Structure 1
Amino acid sequence: MTADETARIEQACARLIARYANLNDAGDWDAVAALYAPDGRMARPTAPDAWIVGRDAIRAAFLARPARITRHLCANIVVDVLDADTAVAESAVALFVADAPVRVGGFHDRLVRIGDHWLFAERRGYLTF
């Protein structure tokens, strides 16, 4: 794999992470769930060992939450390309919720290319404070 190919993958994966935050803040749960591979799984930062598996279950988990106004700020995104179709990433996140304390944590991601799209195979959140 060339340096340019690696850089394109890193950029696509970093964009996926940022897009996830923006769609989450917009409350577009269909679009958020579509960012996962069909059998993808996620664990929220508040429950890092409670896996939610599959797009339908992920969408349902977001719909089950009370509506809230949020802003996720992602930083320190580092993507490691494993091969042409897989990568891992780590990112930091600060979560601002209206009328609540700021939460700081991050995500460990496993990303896969399916067709022309990079998707989350696994997204595991954690809280630092």
Structure 2
Amino acid sequence: MDQAERRDIELDCARLINLYATLNDQARWDDVVTLYAPDGLMTRPTAPEQPIVGHEALLAAFQSRPPRTTQHVCANIVVTAETSDTASATSAMLLFTGPDTPPLVGTYRDRFVRLDGVWLFSERRGALSFQPSR
């Protein structure tokens, strides 16, 4: 793969990470799920040992959340193009859920696949960097 293709992959996958955060904050669950491959896997930063797999399970997991206002901030996004159709990334995440609640600080390790010319998450594994105070 040449430098231009590598940059395109990195830009497309970084955009996917940011789009995920935006749609998540807007509670657009159907749209969030379409960012995953059909057999895509997600683990929440608060439940890294509980994988959720496939569109149906992902949608049910998102819809089961109680309504809330959130603001995700993604940073330190580093995408690695592996092949023309696969990539991986790491990123940092800050999740704000209210003025009286400290933000959650975490990381994501992502795997991407290009299906029919569209980049999708094949895996999105979250973890907390610091456990919240109780």
**2-structure distance, mates of 1:67, 1:100:** 16
Fraction of identical pairs, as percent: 56
1:85-100 equivalences in 2 (<5 Å):
85-98=85-98, 99-100=100-101
How many residues align? The count is 129
Q: Which runs of 5+ in 1 are unaligned?
A: none
* Residue type of the alignment partner of 2:20: Y
Partner residue of 1:16? 16
**1-structure distance, mates of 2:44, 2:101:** 17
Shift of 1:101: 1.6
- TM normalised by structure 1 equals 0.98
**2-structure distance, mates of 1:84, 1:106:** 25
Secondary structure of the structure 2 residue equivalent to 1:50 = strand
**2-structure distance, mates of 1:18, 1:104:** 16
1:15-34 equivalences in 2 (<5 Å):
15-34=15-34
Per-residue CA deviation, residues 24-58 of structure 1 (Å, 9 max, x unaligned), is 00000000001000000100000111000001110
Partner residue of 2:116? 115
- The farther-off stretch of 68-77 and 92-101 is 92-101
Shift of 1:115: 1.0
**1-structure distance, mates of 2:14, 2:113:** 13
- TM normalised by structure 2 equals 0.95
**2-structure distance, mates of 1:64, 1:89:** 27
Shift of 1:116: 1.7
**1-structure distance, mates of 2:72, 2:107:** 11
Q: Which runs of 5+ in 2 are unaligned?
A: none
Write out the 4+ residue segments of structure 1 that deviate beyond 4 Å after TM superposition: none
